[in-house]
């Protein structure tokens, strides 16, 4: 099947082609012969019910430092000129990001947007997990310093993180008797009105934070992200190390519990985070880990994603 594909992403000339998941998705599309354009979400424009953007056609090469050639910029009607839009710009999940989902919703599903923009908007990554009680560690989401303090006292050692943060940004571990919670809440409030997430610390994080990739609700494989010594953050962007790992019966149990919801909501390419026996995040905006999964296991999550997209377009 021939699909015309536009990718909404951060500048492609700046990606690390050896580790970036969006790059793998784009290269797989090119290998299938799909025409490709890239665009910045800030060029989206809605006029008289028509959504368009300024986009550039690209030719990609697996050559570090010389990986992309651009064609001339064009104006794309996103309801007519393309079949699929990949929404892959990185968070922060702020109002600009939310507004982009409203705009893309005007063309979906006539033009298939992956992931479904309305469902991305309705599924902040640290909130969606709360729909699955019993799978997550004790967790509180609030801006209220009294509620946050009470949770800290009841659960002892905790992790504090911004609700809409990404890539490990702002994640802090607090011991049971740590006196700094109030100050951290104040500092956060100076720069944001968003709530914070406070979660009971899971000691198993020292052995790694497992990223499991699901395609249309089905797990296809996992990598383990191990934090640096004496660190709580295992994200690869902040010093975590990727390692191969097998899916455990508990991992499969978690995937079975959440998979039907992901599929029903049009969340086709998802990365979940599992620490020990607990689901901690469901990442739907721009999940990573596909290149490491391919390197360790030979499983090409990008190819499986495009197989699923082709099936949906054919249906």
Predicted confidence pLDDT, tens digits, the chain (315 residues): 899 999 999 999 999 999 999 999 999 999 999 999 999 999 999 999 999 999 999 999 999 999 999 999 999 999 999 999 999 999 878 899 999 999 999 999 999 999 999 999 998 777 889 899 899 999 999 999 999 999 999 999 999 998 877 766 788 999 998 999 999 999 888 878 889 999 999 999 888 999 999 999 999 999 999 876 655 555 555 556 899 999 999 999 999 999 999 999 999 999 999 999 999 999 999 999 999 999 999 999 999 999 999 999 987
Tell me if residue 225 is catalytic: yes
Q: Which residues pair with 173 in a beta bridge?
A: 159
User: Any catalytic annotation for residue 233?
Assistant: yes
Nearest Cα residue to 20 out of 70, 66, 89: 89
Q: Which of 56, 121, 126, 265 is catalytic?
A: 126
Phi, psi dihedral angles at 64 (to 5 degrees): -60, 130
- Local structure of residue 136 (DSSP, 8 states): S
281 among known catalytic residues: yes
**Closest alpha carbon to 137 in 129, 145, 125, 147:** 129
CA angle 250/252/258 to nearest 5° reads 105
Q: CA torsion, points 43, 41, 265, 112, in degrees to nearest 10?
A: 50
Query: Which one of the listed residues 121, 161, 210, 265 is annotated catalytic?
Result: 161
* 211 has catalytic annotation: yes
Considering the entire predicted model, what is its pTM? 0.92
- Told to judge if 47 belongs to the known catalytic residues of this protein, a careful annotator would answer no
- For the chain, the straight-line distance linking the first and the last C-alpha, in angstroms and rounded, comes to 12
Contact 144, 153 (CB under 8 A): no
Q: Based on the residue annotation, tell me whether 16 is a catalytic residue of this protein.
A: no
């Amino acid at each position: 099947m021939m699909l015309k594909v536009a990718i909404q992403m951060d500048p492609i000339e700046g990606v690390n082609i050896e580790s970036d998941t969006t790059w793998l998705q784009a290269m797989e599309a090119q290998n299938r012969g799909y025409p490709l354009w890239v665009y910045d979400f800030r060029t989206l424009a809605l006029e008289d019910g028509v959504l368009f953007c300024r986009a550039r056609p690209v030719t990609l090469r697996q050559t570090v430092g010389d990986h992309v050639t651009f064609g001339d910029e064009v104006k794309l009607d996103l309801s007519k000129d393309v079949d699929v839009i990949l929404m892959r710009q990185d968070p922060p999940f702020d109002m600009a990001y939310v507004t982009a989902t409203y705009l893309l919703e005007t063309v979906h599903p006539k033009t298939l947007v992956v992931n479904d923009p309305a469902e991305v908007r309705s599924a902040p990554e640290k909130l969606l997990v709360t729909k699955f009680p019993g799978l997550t560690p004790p967790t509180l989401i609030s801006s209220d310093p009294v509620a946050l303090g009470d949770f800290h006292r009841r659960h002892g050692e905790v992790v504090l993180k911004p609700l809409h943060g990404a890539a490990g940004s702002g994640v802090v571990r607090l011991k049971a008797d740590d006196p700094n919670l109030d100050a951290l809440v104040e500092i956060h409030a100076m720069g944001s009105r968003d709530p914070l997430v406070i979660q009971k610390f899971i000691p198993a994080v020292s052995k790694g934070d497992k990223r499991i990739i699901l395609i249309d609700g089905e797990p296809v494989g996992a990598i383990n992200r191990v934090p640096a010594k004496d660190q709580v953050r295992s994200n690869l962007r902040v010093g975590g190390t990727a390692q191969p790992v097998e899916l455990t019966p508990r991992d499969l149990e978690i995937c079975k519990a959440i998979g039907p919801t992901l599929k029903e909501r049009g969340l086709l390419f998802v990365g979940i985070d599992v620490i020990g026996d607990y689901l901690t995040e469901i990442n739907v905006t721009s999940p990573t880990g596909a290149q490491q999964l391919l390197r360790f296991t030979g499983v090409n999550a990008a190819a499986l994603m495009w197989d699923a997209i082709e099936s949906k377009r054919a249906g």
